[in-house]
Chains A and B, each alone.
Chain A
Amino acid sequence: MLACLIPAVAGAVARFPKPDFTSGYQYPEIVHGVPFETLWSWVDVVLLVVMMGVVVWAVYYNPNLASNPNFNPNPNGWLSKEKRSRVAVVAVSVVSVLYFGFFRSGCVCSVGAIQNVVLALTDSSYHLPWVVLLVFLLPLVAALFFGRVFCGGVCPFGALQDLVNVRNLRISRAVSGALSVIPWIYLAFAILYAATRSQFIICRFDPFIGIFRLGGDVGMIVFGAVLLLLSVFVGRPFCQFLCPYGALLGLFSRVARRKVEVTPHPCINCTLCHDVCPMDAIRPPEANKNPEHRQRGMKRVLLYMVMLPLFMVAGALLLASQSQTLSIAHKDVRLYTLLQHADEPLAEVEAFHEMGRSEEELKVKVEEVQRQYWIWSLVAGGLIGCVVGIKLLSLTLKRTRKTYEVDASACVACAKCFNYCPQNKKIN
């Protein structure tokens, strides 16, 4: 797996002349190896496709699966027993955690690929690798057809959380409804910092990467451990409340061609699927209890529709007003501030002087960075305002449900509900 290279060279000072060896000493030949990354990257992509395919098959097409209307159990087949109906998804989860997680140390992942894509769209000098592009696009394409099959078990983060999960403690729907804007805010900031070439915050604050690598930033490992312990009792806390890519996938799976159904049979409103769902994606039946005048409801909806652009403008302006403060995340801005305020000689300042860079040149650069920050915080702020507005709007819409229904944007196709549904146990 090694490839030899033509090395680039840097000059050195010659204080001492090259020695004249008389003993026939030969300079040693040193070859520096490079892992054949291309191969592994393509293995990643192929596995991604294959594993998503397995989940799709397991959730939609597996004739042995109890939720399938064509369910025709073969008492001798190893997948025939009902309790194994999730086996394929669990198997994919295990493979994902072992391969994408521990073996490939969780990099590049689809979640982080958002930032590379943003960077590629904004910075023409950035080279977007094919693999990163595919890792970003394929789960979205899959979501358009089959919902969040990527989250189900292919994503090592989701898989890891799902594997350790035993209970589903819930917080109030009112709170979780409000909290569901967090992934979008996270996404907005990720875009802001990636587009300004400051930081990849999704990678920087990735809670599980430290666990997969068995090392790294201690703060993040502790955060990951806490999140993992939490996911023993709360289903997929990262996916529910943090994951920005999950937010994107949810958006696409809302309009997916096929959506996950708990059972092809009539729902008996037993609440079992609702209790077991790690994402709280199964909405209980609702009879509209407080009948309100239709006109009043309409008025409220209209009001929020009018408010939406206002929210966007307000968000954009507010975040842009903070762009100076935010820009400290950029290395050059930080260096410039250090140069202005440093009392003791810092390594950064010393290096700056040693390299003979001038403060004027840096200042010009910093001004350019801050201008970019202004533009991108307008965009990010607008996005945040838009998300908050849409969320508020969606919270004003009323819908009645007679039975338990799957919310396609939250469902991660983990197939947990399938064998909890008593209706699935019926044999055609």
Chain B
Amino acid sequence: MNKKIYRNVAIVTAAFAIALAVMLGVSWWQSRRATPLQTEVMTTLKELNESNPDNEKLGEQIRELDLLSRRAYFTQERHLTAGVWILCGMLVVLAVCLRMYYKDSMHLPDRELNPVDEWMSKTLSRKYLGWGAGIAASVALVAVLAMSPSVRGWVKSLVTWGDGQMSEDGGLLAADDGGGASDTLLADVKADTLRVDSTLLAKDEAVQDSFPIPKITSNAFRGNNSSGKSSARGIPTSWNLKNGTNVAWQKTVPKHGYSSPVVNGRNIFLTGADQQARELYCYDLYTGELRWTVKADRIPGSPPTMPKVNADTGLAASTVATNGKVVCAIFATGDVMGVDMDGKRLWAKNLGVPDNHYGYASSLLMYGNELIVQYDNNGGAKLMALSVTTGDVLWSKSRKDKIAWSSPIVAQAAGQQAIVVMGNPAITAYSPSNGQELWRVECMSGEVGASPCANGNIIYGASEYATVVAIDGKDGTVLWEASDCMPECSSPVATKDLLYVATSYGAVCAYSTEDGSVVKQHELTTPFYSSPVVVDGKVYLFSNSGKCYIFSAGKDFNLINSFDTGEHTFATPAFTDGMMVVRTDKSLYVVKKS
């Protein structure tokens, strides 16, 4: 009688336990990766909230949702725990019932025992074990064969034979694309003509008829890759700000800055800053309209008071960099941010306030999705690559160098595209993929303000009180050194034959790239901080006082024209199709054939 009860109880509890276990399993499966605060709704709401600083309702919605999802999460958690305990209880009951049910199953067998044939089971056992071991061994053997290089190669050839035909088309295209890549000058020009972002094209379709979107970009300080060369054509060789000859427009820039303008499509980007705010501006190339302003504010870690900077450097000395989708800017506070083409701030962070007695001045540079930041300050120098889209640190490399104000460039080094950085005391090439050092040449000294430049495989560096040096990019051997004419702030630019250098004591000279001998020198008695740019067979150069010098880029290196623009100019101009964008001490203007 009792046995029957135990049996029935056991059956019932077993059935319930199974049902409950299934339910708990399903419930757990659902809540397994629950992150109540990272739902899609929540993240979109938070993004919206960030971009709409005045909408109070969004904040309230977030708070409500936050509370609800937390409550739901904990309720589910409690239910799960309770369920597990109930299940445990049921299992205990089940075990007890079963134990009771089988309690007295001990009884003497009433028949004569038949001895087991152990030998037979042993024989079988041997067989199983033999088979098991054999199968395991053959699996291992097959794996060995599959791993061996000859078999692998054979399998590979079988596989690749199949899609060989398909890849041929692609291969042709690729070859066409990379055809001129061997010559860096050509590559530079090619990079210039990077397609302008298609979204931008679509947006400005209405105005596109009257103003063609220029194909030539100037994405960083001294043009794309910071090369100092542009493939732009048709730049006027004279203009007049007073009467407007060959000047498309001129606007006053709200806040002061020594950073140079950058041009991509119809957008001109530049920065300005004062004690109150640090701002990134976007101007329309054709109309001069200030399309938007983005403030670098509310950044965690940003110092409440501005770091002490020299008046010659200012708080916005670093030039921005763009890729036609995102523009990134950095300020002397160490604040760096990424902004999209519509002026929406995508990310912002502080890299640590730079300990810099003049003020941080290195410009940004983009390489693929990497934003390269040369962060050489007192108490530690490093080169960082941030994600252009998110600002996350992709890699960071500490450098053995001292403080410098130089900017990185992209150049050919060690047989690949490399980031070349000049500092004190070395010029160093880094692999852009992981920041690995490719070579390092210690040749500089003092306060390095100029940036390096490159032509083909040769990399040049020059700094006052140090040297002018030509380095073979392949392995970092020094080809020649010279010390006739050295720049302070102005960065040199190189073509195949000549290296152009402008100094702060008024000398402008051209070195032979062969041996470093001075081919020609102009004594102009006016200081140069702005860098020369090679464009359309000419060298454009602004003096601090605002005098523009245009030389012919060639062995003769003649002064074609020089005239006073009337405004102090420290920034390096940016070039695009038929237009030159110049930032002066106070304003921004575009030179274009009227």
B 342-380 contacts with A by CB, 8 A? 352-353
Q: Kindly state the separation between the CA atoms of A244 and B398 in the bound complex, as whole angstroms.
A: 49
Q: Kindly state the separation between the CA atoms of A65 and B136 in the bound complex, as whole angstroms.
A: 48
Contact A422 B108 (CB under 8 A): yes
Contact B125 A318 (CB under 8 A): no
Q: Kindly state the separation between the CA atoms of A420 and B128 in the bound complex, as whole angstroms.
A: 33
Which of B94-102, B191-199, B277-285, B291-299 lies on the face that meets chain A? B94-102
Tell me the minimal C-beta distance from B74 to chain A in angstroms: 17
Tell me the minimal C-beta distance from B303 to chain A in angstroms: 8
Residue A87 interfacial (CB < 8 Å): no
Contact B395 A166 (CB under 8 A): no
Tell me the minimal C-beta distance from A357 to chain B in angstroms: 10
Considering the complex, give the chain A residue whose CB is closest to the CB of B81.
A214
Residue A18 interfacial (CB < 8 Å): no
Number of CB contacts from chain A to chain B under 8 A: 119
- Contact-residue size bin, chain A (C-beta under 8 Å from the other chain): 35 or more
Residue A309 interfacial (CB < 8 Å): no
Residue B400 interfacial (CB < 8 Å): no
Contact A395 B132 (CB under 8 A): no
B 99-138 contacts with A by CB, 8 A? 99, 101-102, 106, 108-109, 113, 115-126, 128-130, 132-133, 136-137
Considering the complex, give the chain A residue whose CB is closest to the CB of B393.
A354
Contact B140 A321 (CB under 8 A): yes
Which of B141-149, B448-456, B470-478, B523-531 lies on the face that meets chain A? B141-149
Q: Kindly state the separation between the CA atoms of A174 and B436 in the bound complex, as whole angstroms.
A: 61
Residue A322 interfacial (CB < 8 Å): yes
Contact B140 A288 (CB under 8 A): no
Tell me the minimal C-beta distance from A225 to chain B in angstroms: 9
Contact B140 A167 (CB under 8 A): no
Q: Kindly state the separation between the CA atoms of A283 and B118 in the bound complex, as whole angstroms.
A: 9
Which of A130-138, A190-198, A254-262, A264-272 lies on the face that meets chain B? A264-272
Residue B301 interfacial (CB < 8 Å): yes
A-chain residues with CB within 8 Å of residue B129 when the two chains form the complex? 177-178, 181, 388, 391-392, 395
Residue A353 interfacial (CB < 8 Å): yes
Residue A356 interfacial (CB < 8 Å): yes
Contact A285 B115 (CB under 8 A): yes
Q: Kindly state the separation between the CA atoms of A358 and B437 in the bound complex, as whole angstroms.
A: 10
Residue B434 interfacial (CB < 8 Å): yes
Contact B108 A174 (CB under 8 A): no
A-chain residues with CB within 8 Å of residue B113 when the two chains form the complex? 269, 271, 284-285
Q: Which residue of the partner chain, among A15, A164, A288, contacts B301 with CB atoms under 8 Å?
A: A15
Name which of A318, A396, A422 has the most chain B CB atoms within 10 A of its CB: A318
B 8-62 contacts with A by CB, 8 A? 28, 32
Contact B98 A167 (CB under 8 A): yes
Residue B235 interfacial (CB < 8 Å): no
Residue B435 interfacial (CB < 8 Å): yes
Tell me the minimal C-beta distance from B478 to chain A in angstroms: 25
Known contacts A181-B129, A392-B129: A166-B99 contact under CB 8 Å: yes
Residue A232 interfacial (CB < 8 Å): yes
A-chain residues with CB within 8 Å of residue B352 when the two chains form the complex? 13, 15
A-chain residues with CB within 8 Å of residue B397 when the two chains form the complex? 356
Tell me the minimal C-beta distance from B169 to chain A in angstroms: 24
Known contacts A350-B394, A388-B133: A395-B122 contact under CB 8 Å: yes
Considering the complex, give the chain B residue whose CB is closest to the CB of A272.
B106
Q: Kindly state the separation between the CA atoms of A325 and B102 in the bound complex, as whole angstroms.
A: 49
B 57-113 contacts with A by CB, 8 A? 91, 95, 98-99, 101-102, 106, 108-109, 113
Q: Which residue of the partner chain, among B101, B108, B118, B140, contacts A322 with CB atoms under 8 Å?
A: B140
Q: Kindly state the separation between the CA atoms of A272 and B110 in the bound complex, as whole angstroms.
A: 12
Contact A286 B118 (CB under 8 A): yes
Q: Kindly state the separation between the CA atoms of A358 and B132 in the bound complex, as whole angstroms.
A: 44
A-chain residues with CB within 8 Å of residue B108 when the two chains form the complex? 270, 272, 422
Tell me the minimal C-beta distance from B150 to chain A in angstroms: 15
B-chain residues with CB within 8 Å of residue A3 when the two chains form the complex? none
Residue A76 interfacial (CB < 8 Å): no
B-chain residues with CB within 8 Å of residue A319 when the two chains form the complex? 140
Contact A289 B99 (CB under 8 A): no
Considering the complex, give the chain B residue whose CB is closest to the CB of A350.
B394
Residue A398 interfacial (CB < 8 Å): yes
Considering the complex, give the chain A residue whose CB is closest to the CB of B397.
A356
Residue B396 interfacial (CB < 8 Å): yes
A-chain residues with CB within 8 Å of residue B301 when the two chains form the complex? 15
Tell me the minimal C-beta distance from B3 to chain A in angstroms: 13
Considering the complex, give the chain B residue whose CB is closest to the CB of A174.
B124
Known contacts A166-B95, A166-B102, A286-B117: A177-B353 contact under CB 8 Å: no
Tell me the minimal C-beta distance from A367 to chain B in angstroms: 17
Interchain Cβ contacts under 8 Å between A and B, 25 examples: A166-B95, A166-B98, A166-B102, A173-B125, A174-B122, A175-B125, A177-B122, A283-B118, A286-B118, A289-B115, A289-B119, A318-B140, A318-B144, A319-B140, A322-B144, A325-B143, A353-B396, A356-B397, A356-B398, A358-B436, A359-B436, A391-B129, A392-B130, A395-B123, A396-B122
Query: Residues of A at under 8 Å CB distance from B?
Result: 13, 15, 164, 166-167, 172-175, 177-178, 181, 218, 229, 232, 269-272, 276, 283-290, 311, 314, 318-319, 321-322, 324-325, 345, 350, 353-354, 356, 358-359, 388, 391-392, 395-396, 398, 420, 422
**Assuming A13-B352, A321-B141, what are 14 further A-B pairs, CB within 8 angstroms?**
A166-B98, A166-B101, A167-B102, A172-B121, A174-B121, A218-B28, A218-B32, A287-B115, A290-B117, A318-B144, A321-B143, A322-B144, A324-B147, A391-B129
10 tightest A-B CB contacts, nearest first: A177-B125, A174-B124, A178-B128, A174-B121, A353-B395, A318-B140, A173-B121, A286-B118, A178-B129, A321-B144
